[in-house]
Amino acid sequence: MSDESDRPKFTVVAENTQQQIDANWLQETVDSRLRALAANIIRVVRGAGRPDDIIDQCNDVLKAAIEFDEKAGRFASSHSVAAALRLDHERIDDYDSFEGQRRLVMRQMMDGSLQVATSRLLNQLTQERRGEADMFEAYRELEQLYQELRKKREAETRATRTKTAPKRKPVKRKPRKAKVVDSL
């Protein structure tokens, strides 16, 4: 008897057609090239990045989008483009904790700073002011969080000092003798 004949035969059953699998793969290609372009543009705006690569990256995004259209029979949706460029925020387990509050405030500061940068590029003063307001509001909230943490730690330190410090008897000091100065 051979082991081969005793084993059941398994076949892979996919719910997606090969065309759907290819379309998903091409969508990932469009998304990754779009993210690379967006990240480089943001870095260039910030004063870093590779400005020489922007046109080539635009071309790569366009080629990937055209290939997606040819193979999938449709253009990438605006929803998929937005999803590719949306920032994934850190997961916050405890919104009431210091760390949870700090992450929320940092998220608000980042959103405000992006609003300021994009509004300045387009010379949109109203939107720029709104971004600044969001940024500074988040800064004030962050400052308040740190002040509250500092006060809490100071109170804890005071409480532990009074509990652990042994009571000492006052030390009796001998009176000092006056110095006699010899005059010649």
> Which distant-in-sequence residues (6+ apart) come within 8 Å of 53 by Cβ?
40
What is the distance in angstroms between the CA of the first residue and the CA of the last residue of the chain?
A: 127
Q: Measured between alpha carbons, how far is 94 from 102 in angstroms, rounded to an integer?
A: 11
Check if the beta carbon of residue 49 is closer than 8 Å to that of residue 40: yes
Q: Would you state the pLDDT for residue 173?
A: 80
Residue 110 has a CB neighbour count (10 Å cut-off) of 15
Q: Would you state the pLDDT for residue 184?
A: 58
Task: Using pLDDT thresholds of 50, 70 and 90, give the confidence band for residue 183.
Answer: low
For the stretch 39-81, pLDDT in tens is 999 999 999 999 999 999 999 999 999 999 998 888 889 999 9
pLDDT at 2 over 60: no
Of the candidates 146, 158, 117, the one whose C-alpha atom is nearest the C-alpha of residue 134 is 117
Domain residue spans in the chain?
A: 15-86, 89-160
